[in-house]
Amino acid sequence: MEVIYINVTLTGTNVLDERGRKYPKIRKSIKRWRNIIKTSTFLSGNALTQAFGGYDYVPPRCHVFNLSDGFRLIALIDFTSRIVVVDEILSHPVYEKWECV
């Protein structure tokens, strides 16, 4: 699903909703992440690091955000077009085996 906000287009919101239902303990973190992203004017990874202390860029194209309770949110971001695509939310053990392709 795609949602267009004033500053950004966010796709993959179904992943946010599904993982929030599956893992109730991270709902608050997902909501916080979504609120920050939808009001953002981020132009670089450095700005994301400032907004989300737990953020890493994983080459060649993945942006990883640390959520609460050992979960990682993986997104693809086009800073020029201001498009954020939520790819997946993984538990830490699964994330440890994950590779950005």
What the chain holds in terms of domains, given with CATH numbers, is 2-97 (3.30.2310.20)
Helices 27-38 and 13-22: crossing angle, nearest 10°? 160
Q: How confident is the model at residue 43 (pLDDT cuts 50, 70, 90)?
A: confident
Residue matched to tokens 């693809």: 76
Q: How confident is the model at residue 50 (pLDDT cuts 50, 70, 90)?
A: confident
What pLDDT score does 91 carry? 96
pLDDT, tens digit, 9 for 90 and up, residues 17-42: 999 999 999 999 999 999 999 888 88
* Token pair of 48 as six digits: 């994301």
Question: What pTM was estimated for this model as a whole?
Answer: 0.91
